[in-house]
Amino acid sequence: EKKCILSGVWQNDLGSNMTISAVNEAGQFSGLYLTAVSGAEKPILVSPINGSQHIDSLEQPTFGFTVQWTFSDSTTVFVGQCFVDKHGKETLQTMWLLRVKARSAENNWNATMVGTNIFTRIKGQNL
């Protein structure tokens, strides 16, 4: 069947790595995110994630999570769905919004970036 529980280790098309802890009975999870890219002028550090996935159906569930970047005053929210192919290979198709801190309300208009990322499991991490 096309069940997908997000716990485990994932890598996206940018080379960023994400480790998601156990998913509880409400579908909530936490984890750690190490981005491979950044536009901040600070060194990249591991950052916490918190989110939730649907577990009512577990068939190719939708999910969302927030990354609170520890190395800069910025936040990213990811939203997406887990797809499972006929071989059982899971892929997370996501879109994200990155909000960086604006100096003033006048600069609010260009403080949010948008993009997409695809995540796949790093081998041997299906536990």
Q: Which of residues 17-56 bind ligand B9P (CB under 6 A)?
A: 35, 37-40
Q: Given the complex with ligand B9P, which of 53 and 76 has the nearer CB atom? A: 76
Q: How far apart are CA 57 and CA 9, in angstroms?
A: 22
CB of residue 80 vs ligand B9P: minimum separation in angstroms? 12
Pattern 67-96, binding to ligand B9P, x per CB under 6 A? --x--x-x-x-------------------x
Task: For residue 105, report the phi and psi dihedrals to the nearest 5 degrees.
Answer: -60, -30
Closest by Cα among 95, 94, 68, 98 to 6: 94
E strand intervals along 1-127: 8-12, 17-20, 28-34, 47-53, 62-68, 74-84, 90-100, 112-121
Q: How far apart are CA 53 and CA 16, in angstroms?
A: 20
Q: Does 14 bind ligand B9P (CB under 6 A)?
A: yes
Q: Does 98 bind ligand B9P (CB under 6 A)?
A: yes
The residues binding ligand B9P (CB under 6 A) are 12, 14, 16, 35, 37-40, 69, 72, 74, 76, 96, 98, 100, 115, 117
